Structure 1
């Protein structure tokens, strides 16, 4: 009689713990097989599970896997929560380890690829929309003040309250700042809150606006629509001083590589000049070293006042 072949093991289409596998009769040798990966210590996933998935879904699934090993009151926080909420993180934080916060008195998780935090964490600070705990948009913004500079913090705040798809509003952010008290980043939050604008449509627009305000110049209007004397629409500009007819537009690198966009930009710039606007264009280099563009803008304000 031929020997009975071993029963084929069917693994679930999700992360599972080593303890769960052992309880179902999976051997240590089988857990070390190449068709399984180890996203975190004590967890396994089928190899190739991320194939074809967008990066945001892969990231969320990694969090869902780790959540199986965390206490129920833990919450993903800081840059991890920001990524889950699709907020515009600076490049240096986009591939950071997963951040997890637990209430004070509980042991924070510490393992490869994970940064643990202990903090006061009320039920109102935790958002369960993902199927696991993550800090709310308001609490996330407050936590990020401990690790971000002013401009990127304002950019994230602008995204949170943006009028077309708000994650929260200014009143709730203000309440979160009050509840944050004197914790890390409190002074930066106090500076950032009054700078937020629900009309800003990109992190670079926000960054440019912060530089202008910190230089002591008037706060510009965001995404202003310009019309000529006959009431015909001319252009929508990133930032403007309408009374002075000064506009400012940030030109990202994609404007240069997209020929159609580049031609539209030139035509738009020309139309603004034709009706008497001082139309200014800036790039990332101008924001990294802003002295020249601030001097040029201040001169234009003086000349047109």
Structure 2
């Protein structure tokens, strides 16, 4: 194979436009280059999302920014698999500029205030607060709460609440603001995984309140026993989401020991899986039964 001629210094390691790169058509077809978007090239070994977006941005009109799912993935906000596994590129352009369309691209035409924009890894995109608002079009309430919980935990509860609240009040789709405010009120920075957040919303929607999120449970002498996902302390009930990940033998033994200690202290331990989130009838019935049983038992003590 004939070796490729070296790229000029000003093109190495970065994206560039075909129209003004000065390379021959043959050189632009070199296997050491790839095409993130029509009219652009990027070194083949550069495969991260931010680099792809910087390349695509070379062909975007003035004022256009990345938004929605694209910002979530760029900033490593966890999303449901249906959006994360085969994501389209979302681009928001201001009014007066035609929305972007194309293979794998979803275009939006929306008003954007200066505060609704940010730069992340040299990529122009919407702010985290505006991303939260925009994702309401694509996520369920529980999934949006999970995104908000993550933002609060990662960037500071007070700071992110203020940023999201301000973005909601600027959001141009006024009819969506009441729903977004209601979701904001349900966020909790103590949640540590999207599924924990979805479980909390599910139980709240069915009338179960008063849970401590990731509450610490101690024995009568003050010794640490466990940290429960959702804890009803007065009734000694711990509701735990169990993921589908494979646990090591050592972790499996620790989990069994933790459950044994909780039950020995009079706690009810309810395990929840994705199957329960998909069809919660049995979980809800079991939780109601546990509440009634614990109330009766504790009243006798």
Give TM-score, length-normalised by structure 2.
Answer: 0.89
Work out the number of aligned pairs and report it: 288
Choose from 132, 153, 157 the match for 1:141.
132
Aligned counterpart in structure 1 of residue 63 of structure 2, from 57, 69, 73: 73
Instruction: Give the aligned partner of residue 119 of structure 1.
Output: 110
Question: Does residue 275 of structure 1 match 2:265?
Answer: yes
1:18 and 2:9 are equivalent in the alignment: no
Q: 1:53 matched to which residue of 2? A: none
Corresponding residue for residue 220 of structure 2? 229
CA contact 1:212–1:219 (8 Å) conserved in 2 = no
- TM-score after normalising by structure 1: 0.88
> How far, CA to CA, are the matches of 2:110 and 2:155 in structure 1?
30
The answer to whether 1:293 aligns with 2:283 is: yes
Match of 1:38 in 2: 35
1:106 — aligned with what? 97
Corresponding residue for residue 64 of structure 1: 54
Show the counterpart of 1:205.
196
Paired with 2:19 and 2:173, the residues of 1 have a C-alpha distance of 42
Q: Deviations over 1:97-152 (max 9, x none)?
A: 11111111112222322221110111110011321311111000000001111111
Instruction: Measure, in 2, the Cα distance between the counterparts of 1:237 and 1:106.
Output: 50
- State the distance in 1 between where 2:176 and 2:240 align: 31
- Report the Cα offset of residue 183 of structure 1: 4.5
1:88 aligns with 2:78: yes
The root-mean-square deviation of aligned C-alpha atoms, in Å, is 2.0
Query: Comparing 77-86 with 29-38, which one deviates more in the overlay?
Result: 29-38
Between the aligned partners of 1:97 and 1:182, the Cα distance in structure 2 is: 23
CA distance in 2, matches of 1:185, 1:213: 21
Q: How far 1:48 moved relative to its partner?
A: 3.0
2:240 to 249, 263, 272: 249
Corresponding position: 1:302 with 2:292: yes
Mapped to 2, the partners of 1:156 and 1:8 lie a distance apart of 44
Using the TM superposition, name which of 223-232 and 34-43 deviates more.
34-43
Given the superposition, is the C-alpha separation of residues 132 and 7 from structure 1 closer, same or farther in structure 2, using an over 3 Å criterion? closer
Q: How far apart are residue 185 of structure 1 and its match?
A: 4.5
Segments of structure 2 that go 5 or more residues without pairing to the other structure are: 296-301
Q: How much has 1:166 moved relative to structure 2?
A: 2.7
8 Å Cα contact 2:111-2:172 kept in structure 1: no
8 Å Cα contact 1:37-1:44 kept in structure 2: yes
TM-superposed CA distance for 1:200, in Å, is: 0.4
Give the corresponding residue for 1:192. 183
1:166 aligns with 2:163: no
1:265-293, Cα deviation, whole Å (9 max, x unpaired): 11000010011111111111111111111
Aligned counterpart, 1:3: none
